[in-house]
Amino acid sequence: MRLRDLLHPHLDGISSVVECHAGSLTLEPYLQLPDGVAYARCAPDAAPERFPADQLPIGILGPDAGRHGDPDDAIGLIPRLPPGGRALILFGFPSATLPFHRLLDALSRASCQVLQLASLDYDHVYSGALVASTDRLQVPRDPLGDPIASDDGSGPQLGLELRIANEYIFTDFVSRGLRVRLFDLEEQVRERPLPPAPSAADAPVGPAGENRRSGTPGGDHASPVPGPQTVVGTPGAVPPTADAPPDSPPPPADAQDATAPLADLRARDEANRAAVDADRAAVDAARGEAERARAETERIAQSTSYRLGRTIVTAARTPSRLRRLPGDLGRIWRNRGVAERAAASRAAEKPRPKPKPAARTGSAGASSAATADPAETEVRRFLAHTALAMTPRRRPVIAGILRHETAGALAAGSTVSVMTPNDALLVLERVDPDVFLVETAAFAPSRPWAYGGTAAAVERDGRVMELIDRAHRQGRPAVLVRDERAVDAAGLQPLEARFDLVLGRSEGDAGAGEADAGGAWSRGVSLERFNPIGEPPDRRSEPLFVGRIDPRASAARRRWTVAALGALVDQQLEIRLDPLDPDGADGLPPELRGAVRGVAPWDETPELYRATGVILAEPVTAGSRGGVLAPRTLEQLACGARVISGPNDALASAGLGSSVTMVEEVAAIGRLVRAAAVEGLPSDAGLRDMLRVLFQQHASPVMLARIIRALGGLSDPLAGRSVAAVAALGSESDPAAVIDSLLQQAHRPNEVVLIGTPSITAVGARPLEEAGMAVQAVDEAALDRGWSSILEELDSEWVALWPRRGNPDPGHLLDLVVGGEMSRADAVAYDATDGLRFVPGLDLRAGIVRRTLLAQRSASIPGPTDADTGLPDTLADGWRVFSVGAERSA
């Protein structure tokens, strides 16, 4: 497992990761943190006494102080975790020698539990444990995700139960390495040849000291050698036999003299046999080591990397061969893997030495992977790489053949693993995803799965078929997204019947094929990545176009696009190309190539869009059969830019307001672009309306939820938008008006906590329950015992403090949740001023707070609390608080 695979599923609510050790190792390149999660490093003595709840420290417990730091520093991170906090402890010890006993007492004292423990594929860090501070024992789960027990872990012996649970996890982890070693030893015993039958050379010595091999007295031994049967004591004494009782009289003296040579010969014979066996074992070990070294040398010599390096070095030393270098490199690349397979075949055909005491030693890399038995490899991998997850999945887990853009967008509502042709089967096995997703656009040129579904790479079609069958055997559905024309991956059409769901393309065309069973689909827009937060004060007024002119579009659409771009060249049009477009600038007419200003990688486009005021849509014009909007256009709108588009029915009917300007005649596009630049950015009200539409209809979690609903039985990707409203039905409020305002919300709460007398709450709960909301009635007297037990009964991501006075706008909750999804803040509320921004503190009497953070810190939040609810009125001091501007009046 990679370090990022262990860490990323536990980054919910984390804003920064701190590497805290004094060793020379640097983990930052291997973390690959997502956007919004910062990296920092500090010395152990500079670490705070208690880490913030949104900060995840990383420590290393290893034997090398120079590389890993002091082991006590890693153990010292555990008591510094706040309630609900998490830490990652990495181990520099192999799993078989893991000193987990040093952690058990620290974990128990700090009420911490190991959530996950897994092997890591690195040289100096062999495994890692994700630790969380908790006030209740979380139910362990087996590798298949089923609960092991039903006890909730509450009770006075929590420390003892935590120690038992942690010791079980560590012991199970260490035992896996021992099981691997036991498996290797059993294989050695099974493959060891039987000892040869006794020969004349090994015949026993006769009773009178005569050797039966040579017929001469005394045999070939010149001097007696004490052996295992020699008795030290009286000279000439004969060792007792099993047939003679202990108290029997000693044999006669002449009998002793006759048997003394026999004892000496037996002793010498046993000693010689032991010496011969030791020499034979040493020879076999040396022979096995030589065979392994020869196989490893041959493997390296036939590897593509070695041949490429040797060819380049040879050409550098011999300038006359430089002109042949491109052809030689291309030949090596085309034949990659062939030489390795041939070497493996030759190694498999070689007769193995009969005695194989060291055929499978425990040393890493001792035997070539090419000669390993596939069945044995699968068994050893199962034993060595089985991690135990302690928490249930709250987000869908997706693995698939995806573009980088699609994986990044879907990560807003799920955990995504991207497969490559080399590791696809391994990823599917280790990740065990909820959905196996295949996107035909991932088979485009310049991508890892390039030319899949065509005759140029038929082996990748076989790999896709194998992945579908493997996913079905694991009980996981397979989904195909045909977001490009079928000709791009024609080889996948026969496989469509194997998929559980087939979705259509994101953009229609007049020449597009038949309708798709699952409807049109696209990745949508990730609002946490594409949003107007942090936009510069002044945006550039020159128009921008990002993308390409699709060569597969109709001739009329291509002419319209070229004419529109040509009309904007005089207005300093800037063209940014897709970095993975194989045509590049050659796909543009000569008159437009001068406007190209490089490429626009997807990860860098948010800043580009936020700095630009007017952007030309891509595609500039679309056919009348467009099903959903192009993701790139949605991303540009989400960043607050004005989008200019030619005829596009889907965009015109999307209800995006003044942020979109439609152009019917290409001659008018220059005038409309100048007018949009003069008009400036959309108003705050127009921007808020546009963001509402994107959030409700086109956001990535919404598009993913369409797939999840069609499949059924999986985690809801929209769970991060759920809200629990806390409403006080006291004397200062109108209960009927409060209930009515909750029912009128465009984004209705999933749960409602009504505070008041039983008679009032019973009347208010009835219409809310009929509307599908879960209602929890709380007596005012129960607030004296605190909010911990009440919050534990809630499942929503957010808790909203409902205003007691006034009539909130139907979009009250909607705007707050939109702000939370864009900012990933701890709390969101309205402010008196306009604009989207982070603020140092905020009044929360009409805002939302993350439930998990509120449960952890409700008792220690500074500031006044509401008299009716007991929850804080304001938030500051370490909380990430976000303002969505002034609230609209109802």
- Residues 125-136: tens digit of each pLDDT: 999 999 999 887
Q: For the chain, which domains are there?
A: 3-183 (3.40.50), 281-355 (no CATH), 393-503 (3.40.50.2300), 544-698 (3.40.50.2000), 722-883 (3.90.550.10)
Cα 684 to chain center, whole Å? 37
Q: What share of the chain is helix, strand, coil (3-state, %, to 5)?
A: 45, 15, 40
Res 159: pLDDT = 63
pTM of the predicted protein model: 0.58
Res 125: pLDDT = 92
Are 828 and 847 within 8 A, CB to CB? yes
CA nearest 496: which of 517, 515, 514, 511?
Answer: 517
Are 753 and 781 within 8 A, CB to CB? no
Cα separation, 163 vs 159, whole angstroms: 6
Cα 134 to chain center, whole Å? 23
CA nearest 477: which of 516, 443, 437, 517?
Answer: 437
Cα separation, 439 vs 433, whole angstroms: 16
Res 388: pLDDT = 41
Res 367: pLDDT = 36
Q: Which residues contact 794 (CB under 8 A, 6 or more apart)?
A: 724, 751, 753, 776, 851
Are 62 and 92 within 8 A, CB to CB? yes
Res 596: pLDDT = 94
pLDDT, block means (10 residues), the chain with 890 residues: 86 93 91 92 92 95 92 94 93 87 88 88 89 78 49 52 76 76 74 52 42 39 37 40 44 50 76 87 87 82 80 78 78 66 53 41 36 43 42 81 93 90 90 91 86 81 92 93 68 86 61 45 92 88 92 87 93 90 86 92 93 92 68 94 90 88 91 90 89 95 92 86 89 81 94 87 88 88 68 88 81 95 92 84 80 68 48 64 84
**Element of type H or E holding 740:** helix 735-743
Are 611 and 536 within 8 A, CB to CB? yes
- Helices (H) and strands (E) counted in the chain, each on its own, are 26, 28
**Element of type H or E holding 302:** helix 253-302
Residues in the chain, how many?
Answer: 890
Cis ω for the linkage preceding 619 (within 30 of 0): yes
* DSSP E strands, 412-517: 415-418, 435-439, 478-481, 501-503
User: pLDDT of 846-881, one tens digit each?
Assistant: 789 998 887 776 544 444 445 555 565 566 556 788
Angle at 664 (CA atoms; ends 599, 627), nearest 5 degrees: 65
Average per-residue pLDDT for the chain: 78
Intra-chain end-to-end CA distance of the chain, in Å: 53
Instruction: Report DSSP state, residue 589.
Output: -
Q: Which residues contact 666 (CB under 8 A, 6 or more apart)?
A: 560, 563, 564, 567, 646
Q: How many CA atoms lie within 13 A of 367 on its CB side?
A: 18
Cα separation, 41 vs 18, whole angstroms: 5
Provide the 3-class DSSP secondary structure of residue 727. strand
